[in-house]
Amino acid sequence: MVGPSPKLVLSSASKRRLELLSQVQIFPDEVFAPKIDETPQANETARQLVTRLSVLKAGQGVKKFPGSFVIGADTVIAVGGRVLGKAKNKEEEREYLAKLSGRRHRAISGIAIFNPEGESRTKVVETKVTFKRLNKLEIESYVEMDEWRDAAGGYAIQGYAACFVRQINGTYHNVVGLPLLEVVNLLQGMGYRKMDAKT
C-alpha cells in the first residue's frame, strides 16, 4: 500500500506568499508563522541575511511538521549599501520612501526548501527596481495608507506603490515576496509532485 503523500508546509506569516503560491496551483497543507529574530548580523550582506533567515524559518517548520516538504522565505530591499526590512512605524516609513525616491534598488529574496528526508536547498533571487522621484505629498499620502505595513522596504508593488515604479528588471513576483519560478523548480527537483496533478 502507498502511504499518504507528505504534507507541504509554508513556514511564513505572509499572506502574500500564500496568495502567490495559489497562482501556480500550489496549496500548502499547513501554514506556520515562525518566530525568529530578523536583525542582521554584523557585516552580513543582504544575500547572506535572506539565506540565513529563510533557512531558520524553514527549520522551525521542519521541527513542527517533521516528514514534510517545508518552504521558508525572506525578502529585503537593498539600496545604497543599506538593507531595508519592514518599516516599524510611520517615521521610519517616511525615511524608507525618501531613500528609495528616484533611485534603483534591489529586492532580494532567499528561499529554503526541505524535503521529507530533511535534505535542503536554498536559492537567492534578485530583482532591480527603479522608483520615480517622489514628492512630499506622494510620500505623506502613502505613509497614511496601510499597505506598506509588513512589507519589505516599506512598499507593496502589487498595490498603490506600483505607480512609483519606473522600471523593473527581473521577476515581478520576487518583489511581491516570492519568486515563483524558482520555488516551483526547487520543489519539483526535490520530489514534490502534488502540483503536477493540478496544473
CA distances from 21 to 28, 130, 193 (A): 8, 26, 14
Within a domain: 128: yes
- Contact between 138 and 132 under an 8 Å Cβ cutoff? The reply is no
Within a domain: 45: yes
Query: Mean pLDDT in the chain?
Result: 94
> 120 is in which domain, residue-wise?
8-197
Q: Does the pLDDT value for residue 195 go beyond 80? A: no
Q: Does the pLDDT value for residue 99 go beyond 60? A: yes
User: Measuring CA to CA, which residue among 59, 48, 72 is closest to residue 118?
Assistant: 59
Which residue among the candidates 74, 146, 150, 196 is catalytic per the annotation? 74
Higher pLDDT, 54 or 196: 54
Q: Which residue has the cell 505607480?
A: 163
Query: Please, where are the H alpha helices in the chain?
Result: 15-23, 46-64, 90-100, 136-143, 172-176, 180-189
Q: How far apart are CA 58 and CA 16, in angstroms?
A: 17
pLDDT for res 182: 96
Model confidence, pTM: 0.91
Within a domain: 1: no
Within a domain: 65: yes
Q: pLDDT tier at 193 (50, 70, 90 boundaries)?
A: confident
Q: Does the pLDDT value for residue 11 go beyond 80? A: yes
β pairing state of 69-79 and 8-11: parallel
Is 74 among the residues known to form the active site?
A: yes
User: What CATH code is carried by the domain that includes residue 157?
Assistant: 3.90.950.10
Number of domains within the chain:
1
pLDDT, one tens digit per residue, over 100-121 is 999 999 999 999 999 999 999 9
Within a domain: 13: yes
pLDDT for res 4: 72
Within a domain: 3: no
> H/E element holding 168?
strand 165-169
Within a domain: 143: yes
Within a domain: 126: yes
